[in-house]
Structure 1
Amino acid sequence: MALTRTIRKTVKARIQADDGFRYALFSHAVEVMLADDMATAKSVLKDYIDATIGFDDLATESGLTVRHLKRMFQPSGNPRAAEMFRVIGILQRHQGIQLEVSTAA
Structure 2
Amino acid sequence: MALTRDFKLTVSERVAREPEFAKALLDEAATLFLNGEPETARLILRDLVNATVGFEGLARETARPSKSLHRMLSSHGNPSMDNLSAIFGAVRRQLGVQIEAHAVKAA
Fold equivalence (TM over 0.5): yes
2-structure distance, mates of 1:63, 1:85:
13
Q: Aligned partners of 1:97 and 1:4: how far apart in 2?
A: 32
4+ residue stretches of structure 1 with deviation over 3 A? none
The 5 Å alignment of 1:1-105 reads 6-105=6-105
Q: What do the CA deviations read for 1:50-71 (whole angstroms, capped 9, x no partner)?
A: 0000000110010100000000
Matches of 1:76 and 1:97, distance apart in 2? 28
C-alpha change, 1:4 and 1:82, in structure 2 (3 Å) is: farther
Matched letter for residue 85 of structure 1? S
Q: CA RMSD in A?
A: 1.6
* Counterpart-to-counterpart distance in 2, 1:22 and 1:76: 23
Q: Which runs of 5+ in 1 are unaligned?
A: none
Query: Aligned partner of 1:15: which letter?
Result: V
Whole-Å separation in 2 of the counterparts to 1:91 and 1:45: 9
Q: Which moved more, 1:87-96 or 1:18-27?
A: 87-96
Instruction: Give the structure with the higher percent helix.
Output: 1
What are structure 2's unaligned runs of at least 5 residues?
none
Q: Flag the structure with more relative contact order, 1 or 2, with Cα contacts below 8 A and sequence separation at least 6.
A: 2
Aligned-pair distance for 1:4?
8.5
CA 1:62–1:4 in structure 2 vs 1: closer, same or farther (change >3 Å)?
farther
Q: Partner amino acid for 1:10? A: T
TM-score, scaled to structure 1: 0.91
For normalisation by structure 2, the TM-score amounts to 0.90
Give the whole-Å Cα distance in 2 for the aligned partners of 1:87 and 1:64. Answer: 10
